[in-house]
């Protein structure tokens, strides 16, 4: 009997190994092989000057959507109209909530195709602690083959590159065969609730439906994924949800010489510690599976074997990826304490302490589930839990199609301009304005043709934000080629 059982176990193991090897055999490359396109001859110096000047406008999004520097934003509008006269003459323009711009490039529509939408935003986050910047963050100075300043990466480089490409194409007599919309939001860094949310709702009421929406998001990077020795261009096919909670701890105040067994700050600290220690469960979702299916065939045989069998080896994969913040964020809803405040004097026990916790919600989780998780983990009636900025929270996005013609066109365009690059779909761990268009497009992609090393990612929202001139000029080429590729599709 034991011998028969042993044979049965051996048979099952061999069968399982055979299945895994079969999966690996069918794990083929999904990279498009395509010849490079010729670089378009544009006026590089003018393009450099235009982005440089765009940076000098302090179009800052503050936490308060009502506190907008109207003069600066409207001056930026005038700059765009002055700099791109062909574009603003050829395309129709609509203004939403006083500052967001929607342009429509009417196509010939001879083939009755749905329009596409290209997105960017004019607002930037504040640039604090000027002394930590090598150059003035709003100087737009051109130095050492870089354009310096807040917005060079997020997101005025995309905005200016799109307009440069349209201006160039119009100058050549090009006319698209479908309508192309360009949305330029003014409050993306502060939820987009008065910008693209309003634009999307208006277009929905008008019956507009997009074959594709392309917004900021993932980039071309080096050194992000272990074992990938080529630059990696990730096309975001989904984004995480967003929720910010405030924890408020309340106890009696008193003199610091006679503290009780529990204090306000101590209880709040304990709550934060619990949330960091007992985080929501990691798992491999559809965007990550698609990511593995694209990069896996380009890796070593060992990695191919593992990634071609994600269902069977999910625990081992999760165990490895959870070690690094960049990959851990793709596996679970993240918990990030970002602000804390309490106390007025060193010898007084405060009666109240507050902390702000930001969550980026993974597909499969949702806002209600996060709130229940927080409540059960803290399990303290003295800790009050409030939702902050309810107008800005969102559930995770749906997952866009990796087999759509639009995805293939983006893939093709990347390969035409960046030959030695691997392309893969993936998850955007931040949020973008594109989420507002889910009801009028099922193909929403998030990709910026910006090339950065892993150590340069901190410049986004950080100090010394800058973009290399070759990277910026390649962005213009990308949008020119993308528009042309959608024209022939």
Could you list the active site residues? 123, 188
Give yes or no for a contact between 322 and 400, defined as CB atoms under 8 angstroms apart.
no
Which of these, 354, 444, 340, lies nearest to 402 by C-alpha position?
A: 444
Q: Which DSSP symbol is given to 359?
A: E
Which of these, 265, 430, 277, lies nearest to 355 by C-alpha position?
A: 265
Angstrom distance (rounded) from CA 330 to CA 323: 12
Angstrom distance (rounded) from CA 81 to CA 88: 6
Give yes or no for a contact between 424 and 289, defined as CB atoms under 8 angstroms apart.
no
Q: What are the CA-CA distances from residue 470 to residues 42, 165, 475 (Å)?
A: 13, 16, 9
Query: CB burial class (10 A; 0-12, 13-18, 19+) of residue 217?
Result: buried
Strand pairing report for 142-143 and 116-121: unpaired
Which of these, 236, 247, 331, lies nearest to 283 by C-alpha position?
A: 331
Beta strands (DSSP E) in 251-389 are 254-255, 334-342, 348-349, 352-361, 383-388
DSSP letters for 189-255: GGTSTTTHHHHHHHHHHTT---SEEEEEEEEEEESSSTT--S-EEEEEEEE-EEEEEEEEEE---EE
DSSP letters for 426-469: EEESS--GGGGGGGG-S-EEEEEEEEEEGGGGGGTTSTT-EEEH
Return the structure tokens found at 421: 């690059």
The shares of helix, strand and coil residues in the chain, as percent rounded to the nearest 5, are: 40, 25, 40
Helix (H, G, I), strand (E, B) or coil at 139: coil
Which of these, 59, 45, 77, 220, lies nearest to 149 by C-alpha position?
A: 59
Give yes or no for a contact between 394 and 265, defined as CB atoms under 8 angstroms apart.
no
**What is the residue whose two structure tokens read 């100090």?**
463
DSSP letters for 25-62: HT--------PPPPPP---HHHHHHHHHHHHTS--B--
Collect all residues with Cβ–Cβ distance below 8 Å to 222 and sequence separation of at least 6: 231, 232, 451, 452, 453, 454
Strand pairing report for 334-342 and 352-361: antiparallel
Which ranges of 60-155 would DSSP assign to H, the alpha helix?
70-83, 85-90
């Amino acid at each position: 009997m034991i011998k028969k059982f042993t044979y049965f176990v051996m048979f099952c193991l061999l069968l399982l190994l055979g299945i895994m090897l079969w999966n690996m055999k069918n794990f083929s490359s999904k990279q498009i092989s395509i010849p490079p396109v010729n670089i378009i001859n544009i006026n590089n110096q003018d393009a450099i000057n235009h982005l440089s000047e765009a940076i000098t406008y302090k179009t800052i999004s503050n936490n308060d959507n009502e506190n907008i520097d109207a003069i600066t934003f409207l001056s930026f509008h005038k700059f765009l109209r002055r700099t791109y006269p062909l574009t603003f003459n050829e395309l129709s323009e609509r203004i939403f909530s006083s500052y967001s711009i929607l342009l429509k490039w009417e196509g010939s529509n001879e083939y009755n195709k749905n329009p596409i939408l290209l997105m960017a935003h004019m607002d930037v986050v504040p640039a604090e602690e000027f002394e930590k910047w090598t150059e003035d963050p709003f100087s737009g100075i051109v130095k050492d083959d870089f354009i310096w300043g807040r917005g060079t990466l997020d997101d005025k480089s995309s905005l200016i590159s799109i307009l440069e490409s349209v201006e160039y194409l119009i100058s050549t007599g090009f006319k698209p065969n479908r309508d192309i919309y360009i949305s330029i939001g003014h409050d993306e860094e502060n939820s987009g609730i008065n910008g693209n949310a309003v634009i999307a709702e208006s277009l929905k009421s008008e019956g507009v439906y997009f074959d594709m929406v392309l917004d900021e998001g993932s980039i071309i990077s080096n050194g992000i994924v272990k074992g990938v020795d080529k630059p990696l261009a990730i096309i975001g096919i989904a984004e995480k949800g967003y929720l910010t909670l405030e924890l408020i701890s309340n106890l009696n105040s008193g003199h610091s010489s006679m503290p009780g067994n529990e204090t306000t700050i101590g209880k709040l600290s304990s709550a934060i510690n619990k949330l960091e220690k007992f985080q929501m469960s990691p798992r491999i979702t559809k965007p990550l599976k698609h990511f593995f299916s694209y990069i896996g065939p380009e890796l070593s045989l060992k990695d191919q074997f593992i990634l071609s069998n994600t269902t069977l080896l999910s625990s081992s994969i999760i165990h490895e990826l959870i070690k690094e913040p960049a990959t851990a964020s793709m596996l679970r809803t993240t918990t990030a304490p970002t602000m804390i405040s309490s106390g007025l004097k060193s010898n007084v026990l405060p009666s109240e302490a507050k902390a702000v916790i930001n969550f980026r919600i993974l597909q499969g989780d949702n806002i209600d589930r996060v709130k229940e998780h927080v409540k059960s983990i803290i399990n303290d009636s003295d800790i009050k839990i409030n939702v902050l900025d309810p107008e800005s929270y969102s559930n995770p996005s749906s997952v866009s199609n990796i087999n759509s013609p639009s995805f293939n066109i983006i893939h093709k365009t990347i390969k035409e301009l960046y030959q030695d690059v691997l392309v893969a779909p993936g998850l955007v761990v931040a949020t973008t304005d594109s989420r507002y268009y889910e009801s009028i497009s099922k193909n929403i992609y998030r990709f910026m043709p910006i090339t950065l090393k892993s150590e340069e990612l901190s410049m986004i929202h950080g100090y010394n934000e800058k973009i290399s001139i070759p990277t910026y000029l390649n962005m213009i080429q990308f949008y020119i080629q993308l528009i042309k590729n959608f024209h022939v599709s």
